[in-house]
Structure 1
Amino acid sequence: MILLQKPITNIEHLIPQKTPFVMVDSLLGFSETNVVSSLKVLETNILCENKTLSESGLVENMAQTVALHTGYDYFLKGVPAPTGYIGSIKKIEISSLPQLNETIKTEAHILHEFMGVTLVEITVFNTKKEKIASSIMKTVIVN
């Protein structure tokens, strides 16, 4: 994994989601098979309920982290990023939900990629670097 010297915080052009449905706010690391993003849980987040990011928010954060990998990869190649969607979630575990004003870090490792279908293992950590969620997800790129 290559951590970036300085996080990239202007990321909305790298993902297909738009405000208010953006669930990543920084790109922290990138390589051919890995990506690290972060998200500060704010009260204005559309999936923040009762001062916590909801389960749906965590799932969307995981998917958008994968989208951020694709978007940044295409950006480096000078090509517009395609749109994608969650194809399936094979396994998901959520042990706790991030609280208001907490910054989570999400790491995704690409296991396989073939013809626009990507199998990814994703882990979410809280501010204390404790694992709070994980999943194995397939994403699909729409041509």
Structure 2
Amino acid sequence: MEFMHWMDSFGPNNRRYFAVLGRGPSRPLPSSEKPHTLIEMDEFRNDAYEKAKIYKERTKAWHDKQMSRKEFKPGQQVLLYNSRLHLFLGKLKSRWSGPFTVVRVFPYGVVEVTHDAKGTFKVNGQRLKPYINGGFDQKKTTILLNSP
């Protein structure tokens, strides 16, 4: 079995804490070092806060860049994503329903759609995708395969 240092069991955050203190958890600080150490700990906490803030901003920028911008126009036909179908089994069941017709587009991604059977309602634009009408041949073709 490999030797493990006692500070490794505390994880990386506590190791940094003890590195700033210059002592382990079992050895208390002398009273003369405590105010100086508290200032260092406050600076360490502020640095960690700033780094977390920068990480959050970068993650948000990356996430916003990955989102697809969809622009819909009134009268356009769209398909609606049904997120509730995750609960039911069925590999080949489509999670897209429709087509729906766009009635009105509101700011901030809200779209009002209508359907003959389901009526008119508002949905988030991220749940919609354009419907491409009839990109295939609807004639039936039969191909007979003869065995040799």
Q: Would you say same fold, with TM above 0.5?
A: no
Q: Structure with the greater relative contact order (CA < 8 A, sep ≥ 6): 1 or 2?
A: 1
More helix by share: 2
Interval containing the TM-score (normalised by the shorter chain): under 0.3
TM-score by length of 1: 0.25
